[in-house]
Chains A and B, each alone.
Chain A
C-alpha cells in the first residue's frame, strides 16, 4: 500500500476538498483525517462507526493533598508554570513531564494518564476511514495523529492506497501526519501567503526526504503568482500535478457540504482525475524513498 499525505502549510487551501473528491474517484483505498484539532473530512465522508475509543495520550500531575507538606518545591521546579502559588495543578499548562514527581520530598505527586481525545474508525462506501477529535485544549496532538494512523493501518485489507488529509502548519501534527508516507501532495493557492507557506511545508517534506508534489488550487485567481509557483516547483523538483480553477460553484457546493465532484462540476472533476493519474504515474516510475523517522510532539 502506498500512503499519500495531503498537506498545505496554509489552512483553507483545499486539502479536505481534494481528498474528499479523490475519495469518490479513486478505488481500492483507505482514508485518514490527521487534522485532529479541527477535523473536517468526516463531514464529507459519512458511514457507520465500527470502532470508537477514548485516547489517553498525555499525562498530568496529581497532588495528594493529604501527603503534601506545602513546601512549594514542585512549583519552583515546574518550567511550565503549571503549579499555582496555592500548589494546585493547572491542567491546561501541565505537560505531564513528571519533574514535580521527582522533586517532591513527600511522594505526594503522581502522574496519571489523561484522556486527550476520541478516535473513530468508520466503514464508508469510499473505504475504511480513521479520524479523531482532540479534546478542547488538550496536549499531545501529535500522538493522537500517530494513533489515527495506527488505527487505519491495523484495518489494512490489501488496499492499494491510503489517502491522508493533513493539518495546516509545519509542526508536530504535520510531521506526525507525513511520517511514513510515500509521497506528500502540498495543496496551495496563488496568494502571497500561499507561496510563503508552501515553501515552508515543502521544506519539511524535504527534511524528512519524502517525494513531494504540488496542486495549485484556485489557480486562476492570480495567474502571475501561479506562474511563480510553477517556476519555484520546477526549480525544487516538486512536480505540479494539478491546477484547479477558482469556481463559484465549488464555493456553493462546499456551503452545502458537498464535494465538487458530487456537485457535478465536470471541469473540476476532470482536473482532479488527471491530478491522480499524474501522481500515480510519477510514483510508478521511480521507487520513492521510504522514511522511518519517528516524531512525537
Chain B
C-alpha cells in the first residue's frame, strides 16, 4: 500500500499529515520526496545511518577525438552542450542525462561520467528515507527516482510529496495506490487543490481530501468535495496551539492521544478508498 500526500499549494500541512500518520501507525515506511526542502526529519527524529550519493551521467568530451562538428550540441534539446571555436563546452547543471549527445557523436568522442547532484539518506531499518538535492542544482527528478528504488516490500509506505503540480510531483505519486490531498480553506488553497485533483485524476489514482486549518463557518473545502464527489477524510482545525507546537517540531499526535485515533481512522478510510 503506497499512500502519497500532496497539496498543490505549499505550507498547507502535507508534512504534518504525513508524519502524523507515520507516528500513529504501528509500522510503516516514510519517504520524504520533497527533496528540495525535506522537513519530515524534524518531526520524526530518525537516526540517519546510511547516506547514498545520487549520481547522474553527464557527457565528457575527449578533445583528441572531437572534430568540433557540433552534432552533439544540435542533438541536445536542453542546450547543455555548445561548440565554441571547435571546442565543445558542457554545462552539466542543465544536462538531462538522456544520452542523446553520445548517440549523435560520429567520432565516438563522448563518454559519460558520474556527477553527484544530491543524496538519499536512510535509517538503519530503512523505515525512514529522505532525499536532499544539492544547493544550486536545478533537477530534482533523479533524486526522487533514486528514493523510490528503496520502497519497502511489505510495510505501508507514506510518501511526503513536494508542493506544486509539476514533474517532481508526477514522479513522486506515480504507481501510488492512493493520494491524500491536503488543503486549506482559502481561495489559494482551493485554487491549488483544484490543480492537484486534476493531476491525480489524470493519473487515475484514487484520492481523498484532508482539510487543514479549518475554521467554523468556512465551508470552502467541504463544498468543493461535495461538488466533485471527493471524500473528505478528515478536518484539522485552525489552532494557534497546533501552529506553535509545529514551530517546535512537535506533532499533534504526540501530545494528544485523541489525534492518534483520528489518524488511525484516516488510514482505515484510505485503505478502503484504495480498494474502490
Binding site for B on A (CB under 8 A): 8-13, 16, 35-38, 40, 43, 59, 77, 79-80, 92, 95-99, 102-103, 111, 134, 136-139, 141-142, 167-175, 189-194, 196-197, 200-201, 203-204, 207-208, 218, 221-222, 225, 246, 248, 251, 254-255, 257, 295-297
Contacts and interface: CB of A to CB of B under 8 A. Distances in A.
Main secondary structure of the interface of A (DSSP, over half): loop
A168 B163 contact: yes
Contacts of A43: 187-188, 191
A192 B251 CA distance: 12
Interface in B69-119: 75, 77-79, 93-94, 96-100, 103-104
B99 A79 contact: yes
Given A43-B188, A257-B187, 13 more contacts: A36-B166, A38-B191, A95-B77, A98-B77, A137-B202, A137-B203, A172-B140, A189-B247, A191-B248, A193-B15, A194-B247, A203-B135, A222-B244
Given A40-B188, A77-B103, A257-B186, A136 B165 contact: yes
Interface core residue of A142, A192, A248 (most chain B CB under 10 Å): A192
A138 B238 contact: no
B162 to A, nearest CB: 7
A104 B247 CA distance: 55
A254 B238 CA distance: 13
A246 B42 CA distance: 22
Interface stretch (B60-68, B146-154, B192-200, B224-232): B192-200
Given A134-B165, A137-B165, A295-B93, A175 B138 contact: yes
Contact of A99 (B39, B100, B164): B100
Nearest to B184: A12
Interface residues of B, number: 64
Interface of B: 8-12, 15, 36-39, 42, 75, 77-79, 93-94, 96-100, 103-104, 133, 135-140, 162-170, 184-188, 191-192, 195, 198-199, 202-203, 213, 215, 218, 220, 238, 240, 243-244, 246-249
Contacts of A111: 77
23 contacts: A37-B164, A38-B195, A59-B77, A80-B98, A97-B100, A136-B202, A138-B166, A138-B167, A141-B164, A167-B163, A169-B163, A171-B36, A172-B138, A172-B139, A192-B42, A193-B249, A196-B38, A197-B39, A201-B37, A203-B136, A221-B240, A254-B186, A255-B220
Contacts of B135: 170, 200, 203-204, 207
